[in-house]
Amino acid sequence: MRTMSFFLPVAVCLAVLSPPAAAGEPAADSVTLAPAINATDFARYEKTLSSDDFGGRKPGTVGEQRTLDFLIGEFKRMGLQPGNHGSWFQTVPAESTLLLNDKVKLQITAGAQHVSFANQDDMVVQTLQGKAQVDLKDSPVVFLGYGADAPNWHWNDYNGVDVKGKTVIVLVNDPGFASRDPKLFNGRAMTYYGRWTYKYAEAALQGAAACFIVHTSDAAAGYPFTVLQNGNRGPQLSLPSSVDPAPRLPVAGWLTHAAATRLFAAAGKDFDALAAAAAKPGFKAVPLGATASISLKNKIGHFESKNVLAMIPGDYKPDEVVVYTAHWDHLGTDPSRPGHKVYGGAIDNGTGLSMLLEIAGAFAQQRTPPERSILFFMPTLEESGLLGSQYYAAQPVFALNRTVADIAVDALPIIGRAHDMTVIGKGQSQLEDMLADVLKSQGRVISPETTPENGFYFRSDHFNFARAGVPAMLASSGLDLLDGGEAAGRKAAEDYTAHRYHTPNDVFDPAWDYSGILEDTQALYELGQYLSHAGVWPAWYADSPFKAKRDKMMAPPAKP
Q: Is the pLDDT of residue 6 over 70?
A: no
Q: Is the pLDDT of residue 548 over 80?
A: yes
For residue 45, which amino acid is it? Y
Model confidence at 450, pLDDT cuts 50, 70, 90, reads: confident
In this structure, what DSSP letter does residue 14 have?
A: G
Question: How many distinct structural domains can be found in the chain?
Answer: 2
- Residue range 359-367: average pLDDT? 97
For residues 199, 201, 207, 212, the Cα torsion angle rounded to the nearest 10 degrees is 40
Q: Is the pLDDT of residue 37 over 60?
A: yes
pLDDT tens profile 291-303 = 999 999 999 999 9
Helix axes 350-364, 62-78, angle to 10 degrees: 20
The SS3 assignment for 218 reads: helix
Burial class, 25, CB count within 10 angstroms (exposed 0-12 / middle 13-18 / buried 19+): buried
Arithmetic mean of pLDDT over the chain: 92
Burial class, 400, CB count within 10 angstroms (exposed 0-12 / middle 13-18 / buried 19+): middle
- Predicted pLDDT at 312: 98
Taking a C-beta distance cutoff of 8 angstroms, is the pair 516, 417 a contact? Answer: yes
pLDDT tens profile 470-520 = 999 999 999 999 999 999 999 999 999 889 998 899 999 999 999 999 999
- Predicted pLDDT at 454: 87
Residue 478 lies in a domain: yes
- DSSP letters spanning 299-348: EEEEEEEEEEEEEE--SSEEEEEEEEE-------B-TTSSS--B---TTT
Model confidence at 432, pLDDT cuts 50, 70, 90, reads: very high
Residue 442 lies in a domain: yes
Residue 523 lies in a domain: yes
Same domain, 65 and 102: no
Same domain, 318 and 410: yes
Residue 486: enclosing H or E segment and its boundaries?
helix 485-499
Query: Among residues 231, 266, 299, which one ends one of the domains?
Result: 299
Rounded to whole angstroms, what are the CA distances from 155 to 33, 76, 177, 184? Answer: 48, 51, 15, 10
Same domain, 456 and 544: yes
Residue 12 lies in a domain: no
Q: Please state, in angstroms and rounded to a whole number, the distance separating the CA atoms of residues 304 and 306.
A: 7
pTM: 0.87
Q: Which of 87, 456, 386 is nearest to 244 (CA)?
A: 386
CA angle 486, 461, 300 (to 5 degrees): 130
Q: Please state, in angstroms and rounded to a whole number, the distance separating the CA atoms of residues 533 and 536.
A: 6
Same domain, 265 and 368: no
Q: Which of 334, 321, 407 is nearest to 370 (CA)?
A: 321
The SS3 assignment for 440 reads: helix
Q: Is the pLDDT of residue 318 over 60?
A: yes
- DSSP letters spanning 161-199: ---TTPEEEEESS-HHHHH--TTSTTTTS--GGGSHHHH
- Predicted pLDDT at 240: 93
For residues 490, 495, 500, 501, the Cα torsion angle rounded to the nearest 10 degrees is 40
Q: Please state, in angstroms and rounded to a whole number, the distance separating the CA atoms of residues 477 and 493.
A: 10
Query: Among residues 249, 268, 299, which one ends one of the domains?
Result: 299
Model confidence at 5, pLDDT cuts 50, 70, 90, reads: very low
Same domain, 294 and 220: yes
- Predicted pLDDT at 157: 98
Same domain, 362 and 264: no
Q: Is the pLDDT of residue 3 over 70?
A: no
Q: Please state, in angstroms and rounded to a whole number, the distance separating the CA atoms of residues 481 and 492.
A: 10
Same domain, 74 and 103: no
- Predicted pLDDT at 18: 36
pLDDT tens profile 144-153 = 999 999 998 8
For the domain that residue 215 is a member of, what is the CATH number? 3.50.30.30
The SS3 assignment for 156 reads: strand
Q: Which of 305, 180, 292 is nearest to 237 (CA)?
A: 305
pLDDT tens profile 128-177 = 999 999 999 999 999 999 999 999 889 999 999 999 999 999 999 999 99
For the domain that residue 376 is a member of, what is the CATH number? 3.40.630.10
Residue 280 lies in a domain: yes
Same domain, 328 and 406: yes
Q: Is the pLDDT of residue 427 over 50?
A: yes
Q: Please state, in angstroms and rounded to a whole number, the distance separating the CA atoms of residues 29 and 417.
A: 12
Q: Please state, in angstroms and rounded to a whole number, the distance separating the CA atoms of residues 328 and 59.
A: 9
Phi then psi dihedrals of residue 318, to 5 deg: -65, -20
Q: Please state, in angstroms and rounded to a whole number, the distance separating the CA atoms of residues 110 and 94.
A: 39
Q: Which of 314, 323, 311 is nearest to 370 (CA)?
A: 314
Q: What radius of gyration do the chain's Cα atoms show?
A: 24
Counting residues of the chain whose pLDDT is more than 90, the rounded percentage is 83
Same domain, 236 and 117: yes
Same domain, 424 and 456: yes
Q: Is the pLDDT of residue 411 over 80?
A: yes
- Which own/partner contact pairs does 454-458 have at CB distance under 8 Å and 24+ positions apart? 454/190, 454/222, 454/223, 455/173, 455/190, 455/191, 455/192, 455/194, 455/195, 455/222, 456/222, 456/424, 456/425, 457/424, 457/425, 457/428, 458/190, 458/192, 458/195, 458/197, 458/425
Q: Which of 127, 171, 174 is nearest to 261 (CA)?
A: 171
Would you tell me how many other CB atoms lie within 10 Å of the CB of residue 292? 25
Residue 16 lies in a domain: no
Residue 345 lies in a domain: yes
Same domain, 218 and 265: yes
Taking a C-beta distance cutoff of 8 angstroms, is the pair 529, 435 a contact? Answer: no
Query: Among residues 240, 265, 299, which one ends one of the domains?
Result: 299
Q: Which of 427, 454, 429 is nearest to 195 (CA)?
A: 454
- Predicted pLDDT at 11: 36
SS (H, E, C) 494-558: HHHHHHCCCCCCCCCCCCCCCHHHHHHHHHHHHHHHHHCCCCCCCCECCCCCCHHHHHHHHCCCC
Q: Please state, in angstroms and rounded to a whole number, the distance separating the CA atoms of residues 255 and 225.
A: 9
Residue 466 lies in a domain: yes
Q: Is the pLDDT of residue 29 over 70?
A: no
Same domain, 240 and 371: no
Structural domain of residue 207, as residue ranges?
Answer: 96-299
Counting residues of the chain whose pLDDT is more than 70, the rounded percentage is 95
pLDDT tens profile 205-256 = 999 999 999 999 999 998 899 889 988 888 898 999 988 899 999 999 999 9
Q: Please state, in angstroms and rounded to a whole number, the distance separating the CA atoms of residues 224 and 38.
A: 38
